[in-house]
Amino acid sequence: MDAYLLDWANLLLRWLHVITAIAWIGSSFYFVFLDNSLLKPQSPDLLEKGVDGAMWAVHSGGFYNPQKYMVAPKKIHSKLHWFYWEAYTTWLSGFALFTVLYLFNDGIFLIDKSLFDWSPAAAIAAALAFLVVFWLLYDAVCRIFGLQENCEAKVGAIMLVVIGFACWLACQLFAGRAAFLLVGAMIATAMSANVFFWIIPGQRKVVAAMTNGQPYDASALAIHGKRGKQRSVHNTYFTLPVLFAMLSNHYSFLYTHPQHWLILFTMMIAGALIRQFFVQRRAYHLGRARNPVPYAVAGVAVILGVMFLMRPAPAPAPVAGAAPAALPTLSEVQSVLEQRCLTCHGAQLQLKNIRLDSAELVMQNAQQIYQQVVVTRQMPMNNATGITEAERQLIKRWFFEAR
């Protein structure tokens, strides 16, 4: 029953996490598009009101006219909407899911003793430290260089090194699947922290100063606006790398590769390059930016390069005149499963409601055995029971030739 309830918690938290992430990322993408699409109004009445940019759009049978004010409007005629719960809920649901799936099952999902043999408490502490330390480093870099000339180039170069090191370190310490997720989670944590510590507090100070009717220091408020805008722009470049890290958990050929840390880092760079294309595309059409196509080409080239370098080696040709090997028997497969799989799928414990301790159950679950052991190679999890390549091939031959 506990495993059953844990599966439901996993499903519902994942569902909530995806829904809120769509809402957050969608609003982020929309406002980046909006900023790059606004045009300086020519109408005297709009200029008098302080409108700095506006656009017309049509959607769902109606016309929309968003307007951006660089100073507070004289009057806000309806309730002011703040965009922050999408970010907070995304992080909270994601951390809850990470806790249920990885921290509660640290021995299965988080720790790979063939990489680093440490206690569950130490592994959990290190995983949480990744989230905290990355935010502290990133925030410190932004504080130090954020208002300097060419600050984006400096911040970008430093964080590229930090993220590359984090990819390498995570893949040395944690199981591959957990390492990929952890790198994505640490960046996502920084994104949410940007909203919580900088974007929303800065906006609240600006709104309060502009709407209370009292004199205010415009230069001081401009710094809040600049920092908030900077962190918001960083967040939009983080989105595609984070999404790749999260989705990669479903593709074991990525996180089981010998150079998996380099694959993760390179694909994150590709995501950032492609995001740059979409950020600049609208501005380019309005004559505000250079042609962004080279960014898209570079991002796609990086992905194709990774695909080429990861391509599987061709199967060795059969030896001429060699006698065909005897077909594997069900009893041989059961012997492998007994050693490698029954600790989690036997009479005492049936994770994912899969039980393999009889010939009938093995035949009934043959497709899943082949898929998990041979195709995705996700089982045994982190190869905790030490299944050999020969045993995987035995299961493969049994599934196709002897079943």
Retrieve residue 344's tokens.
Answer: 């989690």
When pLDDT is averaged across residues 226-243 and rounded to a whole number, the result is 92
Q: Burial of 216 by CB count in 10 Å (0-12 exposed, 13-18 middle, 19+ buried)?
A: middle
Residue with tokens 């790749």: 244
Task: Quickly state the pLDDT bin for 321 (edges 50, 70, 90).
Answer: low
3-state DSSP assignment of residue 396:
helix
pLDDT in tens, 4-19: 787 788 889 999 999 9
For the cut 90, the answer to whether the pLDDT of residue 264 exceeds it is yes
Task: Quickly state the pLDDT bin for 219 (edges 50, 70, 90).
Answer: confident
Alpha-carbon distance values, 184 to 130, 213, 246 (Å): 10, 43, 6
pLDDT in tens, 343-401: 889 888 777 788 888 889 889 988 989 888 888 888 887 777 888 888 898 988 888 88
Task: Quickly state the pLDDT bin for 1 (edges 50, 70, 90).
Answer: very low
Helix axes 176-193, 85-98, angle to 10 degrees: 160
CB 360: neighbour CB atoms within 10 A?
Answer: 7
At 72 the pLDDT is 66
Would you say 196 and 117 are in contact if contact means Cβ atoms under 8 Å apart? no
3-state DSSP assignment of residue 257:
coil
At 250 the pLDDT is 85
For residue 260, which phi and psi values (nearest 5 degrees)?
A: -65, -30
- CA angle in degrees (0–180, nearest 5) for 138-143-146: 95
Would you say 52 and 70 are in contact if contact means Cβ atoms under 8 Å apart? yes
> Quick one: which H or E segment has residue 53?
strand 51-54
Would you say 374 and 395 are in contact if contact means Cβ atoms under 8 Å apart? yes
Task: Quickly state the pLDDT bin for 315 (edges 50, 70, 90).
Answer: low
Read out DSSP for 6-52?
Answer: HHHHHHHHHHHHHHHHHHHHHHHHHHHHHHHH-B----HHHHHHTEE
pLDDT in tens, 291-301: 999 999 999 99
